[in-house]
C-alpha cells in the first residue's frame, strides 16, 4: 500500500518534468526557425552585419549638402543690413505685382512682356532670400511696408496708380508699367547704394551691388522701349 502511494506521488512529478522538457524543446526549435526573439523583437542574428551596410565614405558629406538657410545666417548684420532687407522686400513685392498686372493683359508687345517676365524672375527669388536673412537675424518682416514712401523717392506706386495700371488697356498699361518701373528701379538703386555704403554683411552688400547693376541696365532698356511704344 505504501509502495503504491509512492508510485502515485512520483508519476505526476515525472509527467510534469517531461512536460517542461518538451516545452523547452519546442521553444528552442521555434527560436531556431524564427528571426524573432521571445519578446517579439528581431534577434541580432537576423540583422544584417555591419560589413553588409553601405560604407560611410559612399554617403554624401554634410559639407556638400545645400544649406537649410541663406548663407548670410552665419555672418553678422548691422542695422543698415536689416533696414535694407526690410525695405527692399516690399519694394520687390510691388515690382512683382506690377509685372503680374501687365502680364495679365492680352496682346502685349513681346519686348514689354519679356521685360516684365525678367523682372519678376529676378526679384521673386530675392524676396525669399532676404526674408530668410531677416528670420536668421531675428528681425521682423511684418510691418515693413509701413516704412515705404508710397509714390515718393523710393519709386513705389500709390494704390491709385496700381488701380490705373490694372484697369488700363494693353497699350496704355505698357506705357504706365514702363514709366512706373523706371521710377521704381531708380528708388531701388538709391536704397541699394545706401546698403553698399553703410552695410556690413557681405551677402547683403553683394545683393545690393547686383541690384544696382541689373536695375540700371533695365532702366536703360525701359527708357529706350518707352520711346518706341
The pLDDT profile of the chain, 229 residues, written as one tens digit per residue, is 434 443 443 444 444 444 433 343 333 434 444 444 434 444 444 444 444 444 433 333 333 333 334 554 557 899 999 999 999 999 999 999 999 999 999 999 999 999 999 999 999 999 999 999 999 999 998 644 444 545 555 899 999 999 999 999 999 999 999 999 999 999 999 999 999 999 999 999 999 999 999 999 999 999 999 999 8
Question: Long-range contacts of range 1-9, CB-CB < 8 Å, 24 or more positions apart?
Answer: none
Q: How many CA atoms lie within 13 A of 162 on its CB side?
A: 17
Contact residues for 63 (Cβ-Cβ < 8 A; gap 6+): none
Rounded Cα–Cα distance for residues 152 and 188 (Å) = 12
Nearest to 185 by CA among 122, 120, 92: 92
Residue 163 belongs to some domain of the structure: yes
Residue 41 belongs to some domain of the structure: no
Nearest to 199 by CA among 93, 87, 121, 124: 87
Residue 55 belongs to some domain of the structure: no
In the numeric block, the cell 558629406 is attached to 61
User: Residue 138, Cβ neighbours under 10 Å: how many?
Assistant: 8
Residue 49 belongs to some domain of the structure: no
Rounded Cα–Cα distance for residues 72 and 86 (Å) = 15
Q: What is the CATH number of the domain that holds 128?
A: 1.20.1260.10
Residue 147 belongs to some domain of the structure: yes
Cell readout for 69 is 538657410
Residue 120 belongs to some domain of the structure: yes
Residue 68 belongs to some domain of the structure: no
Residue 58: strand, helix, or coil: helix
Cell readout for 146 is 509701413
Question: How many structural domains are present in the chain?
Answer: 1
Amino acid at each position: 500500500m505504501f509502495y503504491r502511494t509512492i508510485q502515485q506521488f512520483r508519476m505526476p512529478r515525472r509527467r510534469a518534468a517531461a512536460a517542461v522538457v518538451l516545452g523547452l524543446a519546442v521553444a528552442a526549435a521555434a527560436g531556431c526557425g524564427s528571426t524573432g526573439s521571445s519578446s517579439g523583437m528581431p534577434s541580432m542574428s537576423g540583422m544584417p552585419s555591419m560589413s553588409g551596410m553601405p560604407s560611410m565614405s559612399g554617403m554624401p558629406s554634410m559639407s556638400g549638402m545645400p544649406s537649410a538657410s541663406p548663407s548670410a545666417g552665419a555672418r553678422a548684420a548691422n542695422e543698415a543690413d536689416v533696414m535694407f532687407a526690410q525695405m527692399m522686400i516690399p519694394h520687390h513685392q510691388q515690382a512683382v505685382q506690377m509685372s503680374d498686372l501687365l502680364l495679365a493683359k492680352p496682346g502685349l508687345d513681346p519686348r514689354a512682356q519679356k521685360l516684365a517676365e525678367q523682372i519678376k524672375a529676378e526679384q521673386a527669388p530675392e524676396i525669399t532670400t532676404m526674408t530668410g536673412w531677416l528670420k536668421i537675424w531675428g528681425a521682423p518682416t511684418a510691418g515693413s511696408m509701413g516704412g515705404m514712401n508710397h509714390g515718393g523717392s523710393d519709386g513705389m506706386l500709390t494704390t491709385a496708380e496700381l488701380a490705373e495700371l490694372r484697369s488700363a488697356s494693353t497699350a496704355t498699361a505698357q506705357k504706365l508699367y514702363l514709366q512706373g518701373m523706371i521710377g521704381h528701379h531708380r528708388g531701388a538703386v538709391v536704397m541699394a547704394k545706401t546698403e553698399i555704403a553703410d552695410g556690413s554683411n557681405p551677402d547683403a552688400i553683394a545683393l545690393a551691388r547686383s541690384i544696382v547693376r541689373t536695375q540700371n541696365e533695365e532702366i536703360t532698356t525701359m527708357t529706350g522701349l518707352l520711346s518706341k511704344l
